[in-house]
Amino acid sequence: MRKDFIFTSESVTEGHPDKLCDQISDAIVDRFLRQDPAAAIIAECGVSTAIVFIAARFATNASVDIPEVTRQVISQIGYDQPDFNGKTSSIVTSLQEMPPDDRRRFDEKDLSEEEMDQLTVKNQATVFGFASDQTPALMPLPIWLAHKLARRLTSARLQKLLPYLTPDGKTQVGVEYRDRRPYRIHSITVIASQSHHPVAGGPDRKQLQDDLQEAIIDDVFQEEDIKPDKDTYIFINPDGLFIGGGPAVHAGLTGRKTAIDTYGEYARHSGAALSGKDPSRIDRVGAYAARYAAKNVVAAGLAGECEVQLSYSIGLSHPVSVQVETFGTGRISDEAIATLLKKLFDFRLAGIVKQFNLRRLPSLTQGGFYRKLAVYGHVGRMDIGLPWEVTDKISALGEFR
């Protein structure tokens, strides 16, 4: 098992074309579920210069103006350039209404155990959840820092601290590990797009580098325990100025940033897109349940790192396999932890939906629920109250330390 290594993770801002697509897809999911909590909806999006393509399949009583939702998201993110904006970009849709499935129209709060067992998964999936004691959110340090830098890029733009920034940006952090613990910051990369070339009033490269160093990097690391040192590599727009950014420069697709959505490749993820799916999809909600279990294991002190793997087969309600890996950090065996998880956690589709209230959160959350997950991570969030980030199983698990 590796002990000394360097690991990097990246994040992107909300205006990155792939994340724009994720947010559009999840905004559509939110809108359907607000009107009809039992709606089945799959929404996928692609963007390029002046055009957005949306493919959606749904079974619902709701009526949603998908192009209007799309234009709202584009405008709210801040795209107002002539070659891509929420008013004039073309919205092309391919919509398919699916036949209703009465078995999905239920109130999970009223289901008996037998009825919950009868609600089987409709798609096969192997999902992963992970937690580590490297950060307060129990997330790996590289993705935690990369998200903080990306968030800071957005806040500096919205607060007009750096008003020339556009919504598109990217960050990366490399962390050097000694004995599997974060030791120092190896490298930092910040790539930010600006609205104008220097000849048209935008900052030159030197000014941009100075501004981003002070307003982004220095600001983010001032409260971190591990800070950049004299040997840390810092790259700010290493390929030169990035003018405009967004879909006019590079295309985007829903579900193309699954590592950013989860653990920054430090731990495994299923590979399936998380965004654009209603809560009846086990490949989405199963990933949340696996994170919930892994986080509680670490929070309870049973391990310093924990990866939970859940495997589902079509036609069954329970996962066919629950596996645990603690990478040598467990205080009890991995097999014993897996046995505890099967006893204390409900990994059935209906159980996950019920515990996390996943079909009704969009109507209870101002500004939508799933759209907020579509940027800066579906897990490890401390800015919004995610039910799978709650550590309410500590007492039950802690008895076995």
Query: In this structure, what CATH number is given to the domain that contains residue 294?
Result: 3.30.300.10
The whole-angstrom separation of Cα 362 and Cα 371 is 9
Q: Which domain holds residue 241?
A: 5-12+141-248
293 and 360 share a domain? yes
Instruction: Look up residue 277 and give its DSSP letter.
Output: B
Domain-embedded: residue 18: no
CB 126 within 8 A of CB 270: yes
Cβ contacts of 136 within 8 Å, gap of 6 or more:
382
Q: Are residues 129 and 147 in the same domain?
A: no
The 10 Å CB-count burial string (b at 16+, else e) for 251-262 is ebbbbbbbbbbb
Instruction: Say if residue 217 is in the same domain as residue 239.
Output: yes
Q: For residues 65 and 86, what is the distance between their CA atoms, to the nearest angstrom?
A: 14
306 assigned to some structural domain: yes
- Say which DSSP state 98 is in: P
Q: What is the pLDDT of residue 1?
A: 59
pTM for the whole thing? Answer: 0.96
Classify residue 92 as exposed, middle or buried by CB count within 10 Å of its CB (0-12, 13-18, 19+).
Answer: exposed
| Domain-ending residue, one of 195, 226, 248 | 248
Tally of domains within the chain: 2
How far is residue 380's CA from residue 386's CA, in Å, rounded to a whole number?
Answer: 9
Residues of the chain with pLDDT under 70: 1
For residues 223 and 152, state if they share a domain: yes
Q: Are residues 149 and 129 part of one domain?
A: no
